[in-house]
Amino acid sequence: MPNILVKIPQGAFPGESRATLVRKINEAAAAVEQMPDEPRALFMCWVLVDEVMAGGWTCGGADATAQYLPCMARVLLPAGVLDDASRSLYAARMHAAFAEAMPANDRRRLMTSVVLDEVPDGAWGVSGEIWTLPDFARSAGYAHLQHLARSPA
């Protein structure tokens, strides 16, 4: 159940490119977090895209967006969902999502920054209640964590 906060330069992913970006980010998150391909589980993946206005994004103190397409994603997810291998896969899949969504006529070099922010267990509020990893496993359907989602006998 990630919340994914995306920052892109204004106008970098227009129309269908933006829809593709959101779809690819959702697909990457669901695959890496081992969420089932069902609407209830996939609804748990929230993506917020924020466009940074021209001149508002600098690299080394200069606006380099004429040559580079800088994109950021901050992924908030419950601690315990990822291991080292899945963290690496997450970074790679998120970069690929940006690359696959880039408009075909954009010749800039893509640069991505992906921050995996794992929220400590019991520190995430969902609709007014604190959830723990078993709650997330139950709702998001994480395949590798279903042993936590089962009710005690």
The CATH number of residue 142's host domain is: 3.30.429.10
Residue 24 and residue 128: Cα distance in Å, rounded? 30
Q: Is 49 helix (H, G, I), strand (E, B) or coil?
A: strand
Q: What per-residue confidence (pLDDT) applies to 44?
A: 93
Q: Give tens-digit pLDDT for 6-58.
A: 999 999 999 999 999 999 999 999 999 999 999 999 999 999 999 999 888 88
Q: Give tens-digit pLDDT for 21-35.
A: 999 999 999 999 999
Q: Is the pLDDT of residue 153 over 60?
A: no
Contact 47, 25 (CB under 8 A): yes
Q: What per-residue confidence (pLDDT) applies to 152?
A: 58
Q: Give tens-digit pLDDT for 74-133.
A: 999 999 999 999 999 999 999 999 999 999 999 999 999 999 999 999 999 999 999 999
**Domain count for the chain:** 1
- Domain containing 115: what range? 3-149
Contact 81, 148 (CB under 8 A): no
98 class by beta-carbon count within 10 Å (0-12 exposed, 13-18 middle, 19+ buried): buried
Q: What per-residue confidence (pLDDT) applies to 54?
A: 82
